[in-house]
Structure 1
Amino acid sequence: MKSLIKLSLVLIVTVLLTSLALLNLGEVNLRWDIWQIETSVTFVLALLIVLFILFYLIIRGWLWVFNLPAVWRNHRRIKRFQQAENSLARGLIAQESADWSQAEKQLIRTAKLSQNGVMHYLTAAKMASMQQADQRRDQYLRQAKLDYPEQGLTIGLVEARLLTEKDPALAAVILAELHKQNPKHKVVLQEYVGILRQLKQWMRLRELMPVIKKVSGLARQDIAQIETEVLAMQLAQAESFSEVENLWQALNGKQKLYPQIMVEYVKAAMKAEQLNGLSEWIEKALKAEWDESLVYYYGRIQFGPAYDRLKKAQAWLKQHPQSAVLFLSLGRLACQSQLWGQAHEYFKQSLKLQPELETFHAFAQCYEAEGEEREAALIYKQAMLALDKPES
């Protein structure tokens, strides 16, 4: 369409010029000292048009020459960007193929040429980390920070993730600083909460709970789980049973029945030999939610008639017939009740489901309680053979 319009304009101008030439509008007489020029008006107009065109071409040529260095630089920059993008694509393809070395090589080769060089450095750092090349990983992260200071948040998140497995304490420091600088950033807070849970820093998590509830964007059940973990860690890290008891009494009835919280309370109570009412609490908790850790401690309680606890635990077999931990606890309770035959069968079934050193030890102790030292020695021998047997 544009070409048609241009052609039409050229034809119109040509027709106008031809018409002017045919009309012969008059003559032009120019004198300068002894010089005199006589010509037609049409010729003068044609000459002016030619001069205008020449002037236009000269200006355009001068501008082209003047801008040539910039045009060349822009051309080279575009070419480098294309090379960087091609290198990035090859690196990402190598990453998907799990060729970490080739991916790192492709990504870092053109990192300085790319418009998105920070992505080159960060992905290359991940590839170096996959190869256990921590020195190269740290080098790429430092270069990213140096060249792209405005991307500090993203770089910090990637660095923390790469350090989480080998140096979680340092990752926590990085995330703490990022959270301090960006207190309302959801991803930073979620990552920070995750590393604090991994490090079991319950005090810091407790301080953050109001912010977690307001800003983190975590689901309600996840927040409830964090609260439960914080309470359980408080009980686990209490310095005395009186402190444990104070924390326990401050909980509501529902919180006390959470398995994570109950386990820590039971462990502390057993260590302090405060066993009165402990089995009843475990029974209530197991009725609300099955947890094999609580089943394990239920069998270790030695307070009150073991036979009553044995009968209650036997009822759990209907719903959990494949629980090695339940059979272990049943064996212990039967042994306490001096029901030797039942105890033997329960221990054997537990070992059949999951051979564990502790189960062998409890089985042998039961024989010792019977006075069957020879049978106890055989169980210890079986334990040694089972543990020395190489895995298939």
Structure 2
Amino acid sequence: MRFLLTALLVLVAAVGLGLVLMKEPGYVLIGYGPWSVETTLSMLVAVLLAGFAALYFGLRFLVGLVHTPRRLAEWEHRRKALRARKALNRGLIALAEGDWATAERRLIKYAEDGDTPLLNYLAAARAAQQQGAHERRDLYLRLAHEAMPEADVAVGLTQAELQIAHKQMEQALATLTHLRSVAPRHAQVLEMLMRLYEQLGDWERLHELLPELRKRKVLDTEEAEKLALRVDRERLIAAIRSQDPARLKALWSSLPGRTRREPDLVLVYASALKELGEEAAAEKVLREAIRRHWDERLVDLYGRVAGDPPGVQLQAAEEWLRSHERSPVLLQALGRIALRNELWGKARHYLETAVRLRPTVEGYQLLGSLLDRMGEPNKAVECFRKGVELAAGEPAPALPPAAAG
């Protein structure tokens, strides 16, 4: 638009000047020494304009010749970049379609000519991984890093992801550990480390990582609480496997209060103490947990451990009976505790009430053993029979009377 306006103005000016010169062409005399030139003003103006135009276009031509190599280089660069961009697009399409060999070939063919060699090599590494070509995968990752050294984290994350996919856990751990030293606050690095620690079962390291996961908002509050509970549970199980009561108790004491109030963990811990012969400690833990939160799984285990002194345990359980008088689990636990204290009458009362409220195989076995000890074999046999029928899920078949002898 600007060019057209300029051309129009020049044309108007030329027409105006031409009209003026037609009316009065003028006269010009130029003398230099013995030489002189005479002409009209219109002719002199035309010659000057023609000379200016020749000089202008001549200079433009010379400048164009000087800049020709640079322009040719720029054109070649644009041509290669366009070709590389087309190859990248085709390679990504092949990658999405699962044509790994074609994708790899197209992605690396013109990678060096494009504006984004990093993307080419990272995608090519994925294609090589899918073909099981791990040496080529590592080569492309190295080339990606060389193409853009400042993208160390992006390359490292891709490398770790591919290593995990190929079950190269130790290599992935080394990669992510390096990345954490380079970018300690990077959320994706922390999340991948978290997932890897879970897969490796490295609960102690995951426990150490938890505060950073919370701080960097990698997990929301609910997810962080669930993970913390799982980590503490697994650490507790590891301590149990060590068969070391001192280590187990030390770990339990180090856990947060909210964790030690979780019924599931209390059940695991108390069961382990019982297996390790620390029944008095188990009884105390269970008693405190049940007072805070009623859980019949804990009550059942409470009846199976021996407290010291025994009377305190029985007293605590009988206090709970005031608010849970129809709990068959509590009644059976009381029956067990009374049996250990050789309080046969109490034990019988509690066990008979328990099986009346909820018949169980174990309840009938306990009651039958007690009745047999108390000298009531017929009633004991009847309890054992009911327990067998309950276990079998059907009554015992009726047998014909014995033939007279």
Superposition TM-score, scaled by structure 2 size: 0.67
Give the whole-Å Cα distance in 1 for the aligned partners of 2:251 and 2:133.
46
The residue type equivalent to 2:21 in the other structure is: A
How does 1:200-215 map onto structure 2 within 5 Å? 200-215=201-216
Aligned to 2:398: none
Aligned to 1:37: 37
| Equivalent in 264, 272, 278 of residue 276 of structure 2 | 272
Aligned to 1:187: 188
8 A contact 1:334–1:343 mirrored in 2: no
What's the CA shift string for 1:315-364, capped at 9, x where partnerless? xxxxxxxxxxxxxxx99968976633433459xxxxxxxxxxxxxxxxxx
**Structure 2 residues not aligned, in runs of 5+:** 307-327, 333-358, 367-383, 395-405
What's the CA shift string for 1:61-102, capped at 9, x where partnerless? 112211111111111111111111111111221122222222
Give the whole-Å Cα distance in 1 for the aligned partners of 2:7 and 2:48.
22
Give the whole-Å Cα distance in 1 for the aligned partners of 2:195 and 2:87.
34
Structure whose alpha-carbon radius of gyration is higher: 2
8 A contact 2:270–2:285 mirrored in 1: no
How does 1:71-110 map onto structure 2 within 5 Å? 71-110=71-110
How does 1:122-141 map onto structure 2 within 5 Å? 122-141=122-141
Cα distance change on mapping 1:109 and 1:288 into 2, 3 Å: farther
Tell me how far 1:121 sits from its aligned partner.
Answer: 0.5
- 3-state SS, counterpart of residue 164 of structure 1: helix
The residue type equivalent to 2:9 in the other structure is: L
| Equivalent in 388, 392, 399 of residue 340 of structure 1 | 388
The residue type equivalent to 2:176 in the other structure is: L
Tell me how far 1:302 sits from its aligned partner.
Answer: 7.1
The residue type equivalent to 1:230 in the other structure is: V
Give the whole-Å Cα distance in 1 for the aligned partners of 2:274 and 2:113.
65
Aligned to 1:49: 49
The residue type equivalent to 1:248 in the other structure is: W
Cα distance change on mapping 1:142 and 1:50 into 2, 3 Å: same
Cα distance change on mapping 1:230 and 1:143 into 2, 3 Å: same
Cα distance change on mapping 1:188 and 1:4 into 2, 3 Å: same
Cα distance change on mapping 1:138 and 1:213 into 2, 3 Å: same
Identical amino acids, percent of aligned pairs: 26
- 3-state SS, counterpart of residue 55 of structure 1: helix
Give the whole-Å Cα distance in 1 for the aligned partners of 2:223 and 2:63.
66
Aligned to 1:237: 238
The residue type equivalent to 2:247 in the other structure is: E
The residue type equivalent to 2:230 in the other structure is: E
Give the whole-Å Cα distance in 2 for the aligned partners of 1:199 and 1:33.
104
Tell me how far 1:113 sits from its aligned partner.
Answer: 1.5
Aligned to 1:178: 179
8 A contact 2:203–2:231 mirrored in 1: yes
The residue type equivalent to 1:126 in the other structure is: R
Aligned to 1:158: 158
Tell me how far 1:134 sits from its aligned partner.
Answer: 1.0
8 A contact 1:205–1:230 mirrored in 2: yes
8 A contact 1:163–1:171 mirrored in 2: yes
How does 1:279-298 map onto structure 2 within 5 Å? none
Aligned to 1:247: 251
Aligned to 2:116: 116
**Structure 1 residues not aligned, in runs of 5+:** 313-329, 347-392
Give the whole-Å Cα distance in 2 for the aligned partners of 1:41 and 1:289.
118
Aligned residues, how many? 320
Give the whole-Å Cα distance in 1 for the aligned partners of 2:90 and 2:361.
62
Cα distance change on mapping 1:75 and 1:202 into 2, 3 Å: same
Tell me how far 1:16 sits from its aligned partner.
Answer: 3.1
- 3-state SS, counterpart of residue 29 of structure 2: strand
Aligned to 1:326: none
- 3-state SS, counterpart of residue 237 of structure 1: helix
Give the whole-Å Cα distance in 2 for the aligned partners of 1:96 and 1:278.
61
Cα distance change on mapping 1:335 and 1:245 into 2, 3 Å: farther
8 A contact 1:190–1:216 mirrored in 2: no
- 3-state SS, counterpart of residue 98 of structure 2: coil
Cα distance change on mapping 1:335 and 1:64 into 2, 3 Å: farther
Aligned to 2:369: none
8 A contact 2:266–2:286 mirrored in 1: no
Superposition TM-score, scaled by structure 1 size: 0.69
Cα distance change on mapping 1:169 and 1:32 into 2, 3 Å: same
How does 1:377-388 map onto structure 2 within 5 Å? none
What's the CA shift string for 1:2-47, capped at 9, x where partnerless? 4642442232132133034225363222233432211123222222
The residue type equivalent to 1:102 in the other structure is: T
Cα distance change on mapping 1:101 and 1:344 into 2, 3 Å: farther
The residue type equivalent to 2:225 in the other structure is: A
What's the CA shift string for 1:119-139, capped at 9, x where partnerless? 110011111112222111111
